Amino acid sequence: MRWTIWWSKGTGAWAPQLCLEEAGAPYERVEVDTRSGAQHTPGYRALNPLGQVPALGLPDGTVITESAAMVLHIADCFPRAGLLPEPGTPARAVALRWLLFGAAQIYPAALRYWYAARYTNDPVGVPGVEAAALAEFDRDLEVLDQALDPGPWILGDRFSAVDYYLFMLGLWHPARKAVLDRHPRLGRLMRAVRRRPVVDRLWAQHYPIEGGHPWSTWTGSSGS
Ligand SMILES: N[C@@H](CCC(=O)N[C@@H](CS)C(=O)NCC(=O)O)C(=O)O
Nearest-CA residue for ligand 1 atom 14 is: 52
**pLDDT tens, N- to C-terminus, the chain (224 residues):** 899 999 999 999 999 999 999 999 999 999 999 999 999 999 999 999 999 999 999 999 999 999 999 999 999 999 999 999 999 999 999 999 999 999 999 999 999 999 999 999 999 999 999 999 999 999 999 999 999 999 999 999 999 999 999 999 999 999 888 888 899 999 999 999 999 999 989 988 888 765 444 444 454 443 33
For a pocket test of ligand 1, which of 53, 112, 166, 173 has the largest count of ligand atoms closer than 8 A to its C-beta? 53
CA 31 – CA 38 distance, rounded (Å):
9
Long-range contacts made by residues 115-123, C-beta under 8 angstroms, separation at least 24?
none
DSSP 197: H
3 Cα: distance to centroid of ligand 1 (angstroms): 20
Residue 162 vs residues 48, 85, 112, 124, 201: alpha-carbon distances, Å: 24, 11, 22, 37, 19
Q: Which domains does the chain have, with CATH numbers?
A: 3-81 (3.40.30.10), 90-195 (1.20.1050.10)
Type of residue numbered 215: W
Q: How far apart are CA 135 and CA 120, in angstroms?
A: 17
Helices of type H across the chain = 14-23, 42-47, 67-77, 90-101, 107-114, 126-147, 161-170, 176-182, 184-194, 197-206
User: How remote is the CA of residue 14 from the centroid of ligand 1, in Å?
Assistant: 12
| Distance, CA of 15 to CA of 69 (rounded, Å) | 11
**CA 150 – ligand 1 centroid, Å:** 32
54: left (phi over 0), alpha (psi -120 to 50) or beta: beta
Whole-number Å distance, alpha carbon 104 to ligand 1 midpoint, is: 12
Distance CA 77, CA 54 (A): 19
Tell me the whole-structure pTM to 2 decimals: 0.94
